[in-house]
Structure 1
Amino acid sequence: MLRHLRPHSIQARFTLVAGILSLIVLMVIGVGLDLAIRTKIEDGLFQESLRAATYVTGWQAGSTSHLTPKARIDLLQLVDSHGRVLAASPEAASRPFMSTLRPPLYDPVQHRTECSPRSGCVVLTALRIPPLETRVFWQGEPHYVLAGTAQPPLLAEHLLELFIAAGVALIAALATWGTWWTVGRALDPVRAIRARMAEITVTDLSLRVPQPPGCDEIAQLAHTANQTLARLEESATYQRHFASVASHELKNPVAGLQTQLEEALLYPDDVDPRDTIRTSLSTTERLRAIIDDLLSLARVQTVTPAPPEPIDLGALVRDEASARVGDVPVRVRTHGEVKVLGNRIQLIGILSNLLFNAQRHAATIVEVTAAGSDGQAVVTVTDDGDGIAPKDRERVFEPFVRLSDGRRRDPKGNGLGLAISRTAAEVHRGSLRIEDSARGARFVLRLPLMDADRPPARS
């Protein structure tokens, strides 16, 4: 039930909490202030009444029936032990004895505020006359002086409490409004971010949220959101391009297959069914290869691989090189033990693709090296072919991109091998690129060494 009553707005919640806390704190301060002021006023009156009572003790019996008021202390009475008023100031003459307070001998001065419905409240001091004077004037019978004055209106009419309560309410209201305004100003960038995020759609990821100045949490949130939007836009652009190219690559063999089958149906006497089936199988095989490579690329990008394991990259290079067959030999050189953490299947796939491409384009030999350098395992695959122009060195890693020399040497290829290899290298927090070489193409794979102070491959 209480959860439904709780404000949904952060601004309202903060304001409510701040208002309640400020009211509680100010009420405590107000009560303390009220007690302090009341005590201060009463202490001052008690001091004056004590001085007045001390003066009256010098009065002698029978000298006068009235006492002379001193300063603000206008209520003076001299009473005996039986409560009879023996003398009084003019203001106190019409009153009965003001108090039943009778200080003992060991505590001759006592203060009190006496209240009655008829005469209101009186702040007074009761003073016991010293024994020496009582023996002289009254044969030792105790006598008392009562000195006081009416309680000030500030205390009697509770004006002090009203003023303090009004101040507490005003300050609490100002604190609540200030919290509302401050939190609202702090949340203005969040509202702007939310409004801009509502405008962003999957078809248009070019918008960015407004980033406030400074380095506070909201500015960092906006910066992170913009980085995320940039990655999403890049990913969406890549996916649209990939889908377009994949559709084009799949469209040609599908269209060829459809044409062959239609010819077989339309011209059964002119088309040999066995030739049609043989050609269709070849086309289907190409479609299957393209689809398998597409699934491999998607799997590398999205599917979480098996937990990483320690792998001797030098030994893996030697094993893959020894398994290669073909007219172009592969020469391997390794320098020490090069251990990395990674997925064995994916690393084998990278090396297999690199060696296959190198053998396909090499003239006489392929050279492979594996060594550790600056906390990284570095594998180079170099062929002595025609090489790759600098302008095409990044293009060859894009899906379905095939240079003219590659089409000539491998007409059935689909241009996904290098894209899959680079993605797998990035999954291992490494890199795969083409670097300069004296002759041919030089592919360089870099992966973090297992014992380096770098995070392991993503698991």
Structure 2
Amino acid sequence: MTSVPPRRKGSAGRRMVPPLRSIRGRYAVTTAVVSMAVLIVVGLVIDVAVRYKIRSEILFQAERTAARWSAAVRNGGAPRPIPATRDVDLIQLVDLHGRVLDASPQAADLPAVSRFRPPAYDRLQPRIECPRGRCLILMANRVSPAADAPTVFAGTLEPSVLATGDLEYLTAVAAVLVTVTVAWMTWWAVGRTLRPVAVIRERIAEITVSDLSLRVPVPAGDDEIAMLARTANRTLARLDAEVERQRRFSSTLSHELRTPITGLRTSLEEAILYPGDVDPRETVRGALTVTGRLEAIVDDLLAFARLAVDHGQREAIDLGALVTEEAASPGRVPVRVHAVPGVRVHGSRIRLIRLVDNLLGNARRHAESGVVVTLEPVGDRAVLSVLDDGPGIAPADRERVFERFVRLDDGRRRDPGGSGLGLALSREIAHDHAGTLCVEDSPGGALFVLRLPLLDGPAAGGVRAS
């Protein structure tokens, strides 16, 4: 049986991407296409310009030569044969009937280079003649306006760079070389730019939920890739902290559930094993107490789960009316409410009722004689204060009380069946409504302060924040 080699950790992150589907491939192809399009236009412009320049230069020299020998013919001083120049070697004097009367040595044995005859009113005109495949660039100069005046033709063969298409070939080769060079440079530059991204991708492929301690390397500089790496590291740090918090929560939850279940099982086993020594009513009463605690824990856990996946139906809520209604429910100590009317927030009524009930229930458990609830707008926030006259909370424990399953000694004594999740759930609800919940200083007792955004913004008649 052939053994399958183990899959290397992070191999999925190093999967090869087809060149044309990669970013550097797409950039290289796009750059090559754009460069080729631009170079084609530039090449056409250069080709036209070079052709025009060469022909213009030849025609300029031919015009000077034709004008010179035309004047010589008019004055009767044209030599035989007509001497050629370096730039103009084909010179002919052609009569009305197309006969060559005089010519330069290179054109002496040739028939008339052109049978064109300029009109009397425009005696100097350029011509392009192609008698035998190779074109001639000529300047025709009629000697005089007379009807029988001969014509001087001066010019030369079209240069090979124009006649054979060598200029176009050279331009095309140069365009291809430039395009290839630009595409290669783009491929190299993009690859060098994206090299840190490949390293980041490989490192992220090595990160698992069981180990979030790894961090991606941060390249030097403050460009977009460095910012991406820093953001990824901050996200990993938050995930690491959240996973660690969930681990602690799971450990604490298992302990909180195991303890009452173990006690319940022990009491029930004692009732079965020693029926004569155990009071059945006490056993049932104790079982109900433990069941109530388990039910409270499960209810709070379900509330946490619903809070994570469902934000509830949001509506405009008169927070003062809600607090007044919840404070009216009977309790161990009275609750006095001082609420400014018209303080409205936007949120889930069911969850805000749960939050207010948790704060009032906690205050009633710890109060000696009463609870004072104050609601007022401060700036753009609705501020709800719940103050009891109990022993209060030490500054060192003011954040701990919002942790899950944390119960102070006084809380355990006053409410043995509590779940330790009420205040943690209340803070989660406050955060879900873009608010805050904290414990602040007070002359006596514990002061819980809830701040939520006002529905209508800053209140005109509200209390200004100091």
Same fold (TM over 0.5): yes
* CA pair 5-85 structure 1, distance change in 2 beyond 3 A: farther
Cα distance change of structure 1 residues 5 and 99 upon mapping to structure 2, 3 Å threshold = farther
Contact 1:301 1:423 in 2 (8 A): no
| 1:202 paired to 2:198 | no
Q: What does the per-residue CA deviation read over 1:398-449, in whole Å, with 9 as the maximum and x for residues that have no partner? A: 1110011110111111101001100000001100000111111111101111
Written as runs of structure 1 = structure 2, the 5 A alignment for 1:25-40 is 25-40=38-53
Aligned residue for 2:186?
A: 179
Who is 1:396 aligned against? 401
Judge conservation of contact 1:260–1:276 (CA < 8 Å) in 2: yes
| CA distance in 2: counterparts of 1:432 and 1:214, whole angstroms | 40
Gaps of 5+ in 1: 135-139, 455-459
CA distance in 1, matches of 2:192, 2:143: 70
Distance in 2 (alpha carbons) for counterparts of 1:53 and 1:37: 24
Q: How does 1:301-320 map to 2 (within 5 A)?
A: 301-306=308-313, 308-320=314-326
2:3 is aligned to none
Instruction: Report the Cα offset of residue 356 of structure 1.
Output: 0.9
The 1-side partners of 2:139 and 2:293 are apart by: 114
Q: How does 1:317-396 map to 2 (within 5 A)?
A: 317-326=323-332, 328-396=333-401
Partner of residue 128, structure 2: 113
> What displacement does 1:218 show?
3.1
Q: Secondary structure at the match of 1:7?
A: helix
From 402, 405, 409, the counterpart of 2:410: 405
Aligned partner letter, 2:179:
A
Instruction: Report if aligned partners of 2:289, 2:417 keep a CA contact under 8 Å in 1.
Output: no
One-letter amino acid of the counterpart of residue 128, structure 1: R
Q: CA deviation at 1:391?
A: 0.8
Change (3 A) 1:25 1:63: closer
1:15 aligns with 2:28: yes
Q: Are residues 354 and 274 of structure 1, via their aligned partners in 2, closer, same or farther at CA, if it must alter by over 3 Å?
A: closer
Letter in 2 for 1:179: T
Task: Quote how far apart the aligned CAs of 1:183 are.
Answer: 1.7
Q: Secondary structure at the match of 1:450?
A: coil
Query: Aligned partners of 2:258 and 2:100: how far apart in 1?
Result: 124
Match of 1:128 among 126, 142, 147: 142
- The change in CA–CA distance for 1:115 and 1:63 in structure 2 (over 3 A counts) is closer
Which residue of the partner structure matches residue 9 of structure 2? none
TM-score by length of 2: 0.88
Asked whether the 8 Å contact 2:219–2:225 carries over to 1, the reply is yes
Percent identity between matched residues is 51
Counterparts of 2:441 and 2:18, CA distance in 1: 69
Listed one character per residue, the Cα deviations across residues 56-85 of structure 1 (whole Å, up to 9, x for unaligned) are: 112267965421224521110011232211
Aligned counterparts of 2:441 and 2:222: Cα–Cα separation in 1: 42
1: CA distance, partners of 2:155 / 2:356: 106
Residues 86-142 of structure 1: CA deviation (Å, up to 9, x unaligned): 111111112111123332334322223333547x332211222222xx4xxxxx324
**Structure 1 moving runs of 4+ over 6 Å:** none
Q: Distance in 1 between matches of 2:254 and 2:78?
A: 127
State the distance in 2 between where 1:101 and 1:269 align: 143
**Cα distance, 1:380 vs structure 2:** 0.7
Task: Please tell me whether the aligned partners of residues 372 and 388 of structure 2 are also in contact (alpha carbons under 8 angstroms).
Answer: yes
| 351-360 vs 248-257, which moves further | 248-257
What residue is the counterpart of 1:226 in the other structure?
233
- Provide the rounded CA distance (Å) in 2 between the counterparts of 1:261 and 1:351: 37
RMSD: 2.5
- What SS does structure 1 have at the residue aligned with 2:73? coil
Could you tell me how far apart the structure 1 residues matched to 2:279 and 2:178 are?
99
1:424-435 equivalent positions in 2, closer than 5 A: 424-435=429-440
In 2 relative to 1, CA 330–64 (structure 1 residues): closer, same or farther, beyond 3 Å?
Answer: closer
Q: Which shows bigger deviation, 313-322 or 363-372?
A: 313-322
